[in-house]
C-alpha cells in the first residue's frame, strides 16, 4: 500500500534547501499488469535471461532488485540464479556491460498467487547511474524449472514501450545467441499481434535518489502580498511515470501556516496578518517509498507601519503629498515605504495658527486689536519703512498718512493692512495750546509739563534730530539735568495725539 509522505518543502526566499535522499522500489511494470503470467527461465530453456529497461531522469543509485519467481515443485531443489544490473549498449540499445551481480536461491512453489513469491536482493554496493539501465533475472546457471513472472501477453500490458528483453541461448554459440528486444526485433514481430511480444517482466529496481531540491524565492514579504511556491523545475524524478504511482503528478498540498491549505504544485497565497509562518509542503510520491522530507523555513510577513505628522504652522502648509493646506486638518494621509519595504501610512495632524492684524483708528491714534504681542508700526507711504521707536500696541501719528503694523504673537507674525490718518494738523494746533512747559528757557534741570489729560511719553531730540531720551513723567516733572545748554525738541504723546515743543536750556 502506498505511503503518504509528509514532505515539508518550504518556499520563501533566496535560499536553497538541502536536497533529500529518497529510497523506493519502482513498481512500474507491476502497475501495468492486468494478468500475471509465468515464463520459464533456465539452462533447459531457450530464454536464459530476461531483462526490463528503466529510465534515469536524474542521477540515481541502484541498490538491488525485487522480482517474482519460483522453482516448480517438480524440480529437485531450489534453483540458484543471479540478478544483474546492466548499462545500455550504445549500438544495440540492449543490455550491455554488467555493472553489478548478486546471487539468489529460489524456493519451491507453485507461483500462485505471484505476490507470495516476491523476493528482493541487494547488490554488494549501490551503483550510481545517470542514464537508462536494465535489471535482469539470470537462470542460465540452473537446470531446475524456474518461473519468472511477467504481465499479460494477451492483454498487451507492455503498452508498446518495448522495455523488455530476453537473452536467447541454444548452447550452439551461433551469432543469434544474444539479447533481443521482444517488441521490436524482427525475430519476434512476425505473426505476433500487433507488434512482437508486448509485455514486461515484473522486475523492480530498488533505487535511491536525491530529490525535492527547492530554490526559495522570498523569505520576507509585506502583509497583503503574494508568496508563491512550486517544486524545482529540474526535479524531473517527481513527474516521471516510472518513479511515481500517480503518472500525471505527485499529490502535493501546501499548509501556509495560517489556517489555509492549497493543493497542487504551483500555488500562491496572500498573508493579511504580519508574523512568522512555517510553510509545509506535503508530497505523496513514489511506490513503496521510504522518503520522509522535513524542511523548516520561516517566512517573515511584515505589516504596514503608521505614524502621525504633527504640524503647527502659520497661515498654510505644503505637506509631503504636495498639497497646500490652508486650514487645520487631521484626516489627510500619505503612504511612504518603510525600512522593511512595506507601506508606512502617515496621517497629518495640522493646526493652522493666525494672528489678528486688525487695527482700530481713533483720531490720530492707531491701536492693534491683538494684546500681549510685539509690534512694529510701518509707514505705508514710505515703502513700509519701520517707524523708529513705534513699538507699542498704540501709535499716535505725527503726520497725516497711511500706517500699518507688524503683529508678532511669539508664534506667528503678520502685517496689517494700511490705515489712513488725516487729522494730525488740525488737532495738533488745538492740542499745542493745552500743553504748557515751565520754566522755558530752563536753568533748573527740572521741567514741569502741564496738561489736563494723559501724557504717555516724552521724547527729547537734539537740534540735529537725534533722539536723546524717551521718558515717562514723574508727577508732571521731566528730569533734564543731563542736558547741556542749547535748543531741543520735545515730542509729547498725549491721549489726544502728539505735539512738538521747543525747549531752551540756559544754565548760566
Q: Measured between alpha carbons, how far is residue 77 from residues 47, 117, 145, 225, 272 in Å? A: 20, 16, 10, 71, 71
Superfamily assignment of 359-422 in CATH? Answer: Immunoglobulins (2.60.40.10)
| CB within 8 Å of 429: residues ≥ 6 apart | none
CB 460 within 8 A of CB 504: no
All CATH 2.60.40.3080 domain ranges in the chain, comma separated? 425-505
- d(CA 420, CA 413) in angstroms, rounded, equals 22
Please report the pLDDT score of residue 361 as a whole number.
Answer: 86
Q: Assign domain 425-505 one CATH number from 1.10.20.140, 3.30.70.370, 3.40.50.150, 2.60.40.3080.
A: 2.60.40.3080
CATH architecture of 13-17+214-302: Sandwich (2.60)
Cα separation of 188 and 192, whole Å? 7
Q: What DSSP designation does 115 have?
A: G
Which residues belong to CATH 2.60.120 in the chain?
A: 22-207
> Given this model, what pLDDT does residue 13 score?
42
Q: Which CATH class is domain 22-207?
A: mainly beta
CB atoms within 10 A of CB 217: 15
Strands 60-72 and 108-109 turn out to be parallel
pLDDT of residue 2: 30
Q: How far apart are CA 398 and CA 385, in angstroms?
A: 15
- Would you state the pLDDT for residue 11? 34
How much is the pLDDT for 473?
82
pLDDT score at 335: 92
Q: Where in the chain is the domain with CATH 2.60.40.10?
A: 13-17+214-302, 359-422
Helix (H) or strand (E) holding 189: helix 186-189
pLDDT for 294 equals 53
Q: What is the pLDDT of residue 247?
A: 52
Q: What is the mean pLDDT of each run of 10 residues along the chain (508 residues)?
A: 30 46 88 94 93 94 98 95 98 97 96 95 97 97 96 91 94 90 84 71 93 63 82 65 69 83 83 86 68 64 90 91 94 90 92 91 84 93 93 84 94 93 71 88 92 89 81 86 90 82 88
Confidence (pLDDT) at 385: 95
Amino acid at each position: 500500500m502506498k505511503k503518504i509522505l509528509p514532505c515539508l518543502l518550504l518556499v520563501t526566499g533566496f535560499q536553497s534547501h538541502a536536497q533529500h535522499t529518497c529510497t523506493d522500489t519502482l513498481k512500474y511494470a507491476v502497475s501495468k499488469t492486468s494478468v500475471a503470467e509465468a515464463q520459464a527461465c533456465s539452462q533447459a530453456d531457450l530464454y536464459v535471461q530476461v531483462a526490463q529497461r528503466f529510465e534515469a531522469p536524474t542521477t540515481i543509485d541502484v541498490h538491488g532488485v525485487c522480482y517474482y519467481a519460483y522453482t516448480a515443485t517438480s524440480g529437485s531443489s531450489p534453483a540458484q540464479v543471479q540478478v544483474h544490473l546492466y548499462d545500455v549498449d550504445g549500438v544495440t540499445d540492449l543490455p550491455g556491460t554488467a555493472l553489478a551481480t548478486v546471487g539468489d536461491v529460489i524456493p519451491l512453489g507453485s507461483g500462485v498467487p505471484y505476490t507470495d513469491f516476491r523476493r528482493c536482493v541487494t547488490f554488494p554496493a549501490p551503483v550510481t547511474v545517470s542514464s537508462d539501465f536494465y535489471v535482469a533475472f539470470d537462470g542460465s546457471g540452473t537446470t531446475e524449472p524456474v518461473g519468472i513472472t511477467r504481465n499479460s501477453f494477451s492483454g498487451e500490458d507492455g503498452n508498446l514501450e518495448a522495455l523488455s528483453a530476453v537473452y536467447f541461448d541454444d548452447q550452439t554459440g551461433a551469432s543469434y545467441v544474444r539479447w533481443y528486444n521482444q517488441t521490436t526485433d524482427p525475430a519476434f514481430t512476425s505473426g505476433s499481434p500487433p507488434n512482437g511480444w508486448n509485455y514486461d517482466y515484473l522486475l523492480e529496481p530498488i533505487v535511491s535518489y536525491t530529490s525535492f531540491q527547492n530554490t526559495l524565492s522570498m523569505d520576507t514579504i509585506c502583509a497583503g502580498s503574494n508568496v508563491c511556491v512550486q517544486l524545482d523545475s529540474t526535479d524531473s524524478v517527481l513527474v516521471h511515470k516510472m518513479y511515481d504511482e500517480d503518472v500525471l503528478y505527485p499529490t502535493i498540498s501546501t499548509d501556509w501556516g495560517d489556517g489555509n491549505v492549497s493543493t497542487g504544485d504551483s500555488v500562491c497565497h496572500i498573508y493579511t496578518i504580519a508574523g512568522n509562518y512555517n510553510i509545509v509542503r506535503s508530497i505523496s510520491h513514489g511506490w513503496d517509498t521510504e522518503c520522509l522530507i522535513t524542511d523548516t523555513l520561516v517566512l517573515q510577513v511584515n505589516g504596514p507601519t503608521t505614524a502621525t505628522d504633527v504640524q503647527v504652522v502659520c497661515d498654510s502648509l505644503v505637506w509631503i503629498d504636495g498639497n497646500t493646506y490652508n486650514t487645520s486638518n487631521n484626516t489627510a494621509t500619505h503612504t511612504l515605504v518603510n525600512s522593511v519595504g512595506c507601506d508606512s501610512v502617515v496621517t497629518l495632524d495640522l493646526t493652522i495658527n493666525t494672528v489678528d492684524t486688525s487695527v482700530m483708528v481713533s483720531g490720530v491714534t492707531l491701536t492693534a486689536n491683538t494684546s500681549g504681542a510685539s509690534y512694529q508700526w510701518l509707514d505705508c507711504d514710505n515703502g513700509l519703512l519701520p517707524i523708529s521707536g513705534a513699538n507699542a500696541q498704540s501709535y499716535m501719528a505725527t503726520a497725516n498718512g497711511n500706517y500699518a503694523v507688524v503683529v508678532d504673537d511669539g508664534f506667528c507674525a503678520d502685517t496689517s493692512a494700511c490705515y489712513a490718518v488725516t487729522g494730525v494738523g488740525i488737532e495738533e494746533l488745538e492740542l499745542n495750546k493745552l500743553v504748557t512747559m515751565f520754566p522755558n528757557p530752563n536753568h533748573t534741570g527740572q521741567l514741569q509739563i502741564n496738561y489736563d489729560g494723559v501724557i504717555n511719553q516724552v521724547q527729547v531730540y537734539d537740534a540735529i534730530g537725534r533722539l536723546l531720551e524717551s521718558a515717562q513723567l514723574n508727577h508732571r516733572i521731566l528730569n533734564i539735568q543731563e542736558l547741556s545748554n542749547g535748543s531741543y525738541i520735545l515730542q509729547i504723546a498725549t491721549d489726544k495725539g502728539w505735539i512738538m515743543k521747543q525747549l531752551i536750556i540756559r544754565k548760566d
